[in-house]
Structure 1
Amino acid sequence: MHLTELDDDPASPFPPVERALREPDGLLAWGGDLSVPRLLNAYRHGCFPWFSEGQPLLWWAPDPRMVLPSDGFHVSRSLRRFLRRSDWTLRADCRFDAVISHCADTPRRGQDGTWILPSMATAYRRMHARGHAHSVEVYDRDDCLVGGIYGIAIGRMFFGESMFSLSDNGSKVALLGLCRFLHRNAMPMLDCQMHTAHLESLGARTLPRERFIRESRALCALPGPPGSWQDGFGHVTAAGLSDSEPR
């Protein structure tokens, strides 16, 4: 099947996701750029950029899609015990640059290098400056980062991109804090892109691509929290996240 090359207009439509390749799963198009309008166009369309050093810019829409309901994070007994004893705190959009840098530098099992190339990091920092990209950060008692996550919010849909841990449970606590915030703001679904056993153990599940596209587009069209999340997220304690039910 012919792979579509995107033209220079960032507002031009992406090809229908049904044209994505089965092998490699979800490869939809190549080319274009990482401008803010192009990225917003891509996420609304149900695809995302993912490429390595030396490759052209590649766009993906895998089938099925991994998602985590914002009220569906599975807090294990061991994590709940950890949270109750923890003196960590969480904030949002306070250290986005540091979060994306740590995500880029964290070694990943089975990966040689990082997909968060300098061009990607610059693009998502631009998205953050425009109020589209957000981070949730986890801090220890000395106000040092121990974990974090970042992604893109459009309307009431959140598209997760990457997370990191500098201490055990750092990324889990960040993801849990993000889910609780999304749930409070009537944002029911977090896109996790690709299936992993780790995400599945935390409550994520797969959706057929057709259903994911339908539901995510509907959520993107609804009004969501505007601008920075700093004030809306507030100052959250990890111990406060140990409640069994989201509030």
Structure 2
Amino acid sequence: MHLLDNTLSFPHPEQTHETGILALGGDLSPERLILAYQNGIFPWYSDDEPLLWWSPDPRMVLFHDELKVSKSMRKLFRDQKFKVTFNQDFESVIRTCAEIPRQGQDGTWITEEMIQSYLKLHQMGFAQSVEVYENEKLVAGLYGINLKEKAVFCGESMFTKISNASKYGFISLIEKLKEEGVQLIDCQIYTAHLASLGAKEISREAFLSHLGL
């Protein structure tokens, strides 16, 4: 595990510890965050921990042509069950992701420092959000980093307040990214929810190759 200083650099992801942690320390400046994502690295830590940088092996990803849409979800789209917007209320999405209770978690890893950093990335056009509404109320959302030059979208977090709303937003995002030429969605770590949508685990080496590394 490597200790970062003020130098704007990271060790190669191949040097990641078996836990998935590559380094600790540094800062959450926009420049460092962009460099991290471009190299298959992301921050994940709690308030009571140092700033931790991860590059897990295996890596959970979704290829846009492997997206699975169930019959029940197709019906929701036919019925236009929800209204979906993009990049219209990034701050509400990231703050709700931070605040919403999650099963098996005592708190959040989305600290106020992280929120402020990603708001800057949103202003720069890197961090993007999806908002899902029902009756004009925000019921689900997600955000991530769009590495357009690498055709990769790095998903960060999502929330839902009612059944199927986050899936609706996620599927809508995949369709939009597909039109923009994005081929791979980085989901970071396995969850059954993502697997049900077609995401799968690949090796870190394979993931890095998609980033041109």
| TM norm structure 2 | 0.95
Q: Encode CA deviations 1:151-209: one digit per residue, 9 max, x unaligned.
A: 00112211000011122111101100110011001101000000111111110011100
1:80-119 matches, cutoff 5 A: 80-119=74-113
Structure 1 partner of 2:187: 192
Q: Does residue 1:72 correspond to 2:66, yes or no?
A: yes
Structure 1 partner of 2:16: 20
What's the secondary structure of 2:212's corresponding residue?
A: helix
Is the Cα contact below 8 Å between 2:2 and 2:23 reproduced in 1?
Answer: yes
Paired with 1:172 and 1:63, the residues of 2 have a C-alpha distance of: 25
1:2-17 matches, cutoff 5 A: 3-9=1-7, 11-12=8-9, 14-17=10-13
Q: Aligned partner of 1:204: which letter? A: A
Q: Encode CA deviations 1:74-95: one digit per residue, 9 max, x unaligned.
A: 1111222233233421111100
Paired with 2:65 and 2:138, the residues of 1 have a C-alpha distance of: 25
Q: Does residue 1:207 correspond to 2:202, yes or no?
A: yes
Is the Cα contact below 8 Å between 2:82 and 2:165 reproduced in 1?
Answer: no
The gaps in structure 2 that reach 5 residues or longer are none
Paired with 1:50 and 1:114, the residues of 2 have a C-alpha distance of: 10
What's the secondary structure of 1:158's corresponding residue?
A: strand
Q: Encode CA deviations 1:130-155: one digit per residue, 9 max, x unaligned.
A: 11100011112x32211111000112
Structure 2 partner of 1:154: 147
Matching residue within 177, 182, 189 for 2:172: 177
Q: Aligned partner of 2:16: which letter? A: A
Q: Does residue 1:45 correspond to 2:43, yes or no?
A: no
Q: Encode CA deviations 1:17-74: one digit per residue, 9 max, x unaligned.
A: 121111xx21000000000000011011111000011100000000000001123221
| Bigger mean CA deviation after superposition, 149-158 or 33-42 | 149-158
Is the Cα contact below 8 Å between 1:44 and 1:217 reproduced in 2?
Answer: no
Is the Cα contact below 8 Å between 1:134 and 1:153 reproduced in 2?
Answer: yes
Paired with 2:120 and 2:132, the residues of 1 have a C-alpha distance of: 22
Is the Cα contact below 8 Å between 1:71 and 1:179 reproduced in 2?
Answer: no
- Identity, % of aligned positions: 45
The gaps in structure 1 that reach 5 residues or longer are 219-247
Paired with 2:102 and 2:81, the residues of 1 have a C-alpha distance of: 27
How many pairs were matched up? 211
What's the secondary structure of 2:66's corresponding residue?
A: coil
1:217 Cα shift?
A: 3.3
The verdict on how the C-alpha distance between 1:87 and 1:201 changes in structure 2, with shifts beyond 3 A counting, is closer
Q: Encode CA deviations 1:217-244: one digit per residue, 9 max, x unaligned.
A: 37xxxxxxxxxxxxxxxxxxxxxxxxxx
Q: Does residue 1:167 correspond to 2:162, yes or no?
A: yes
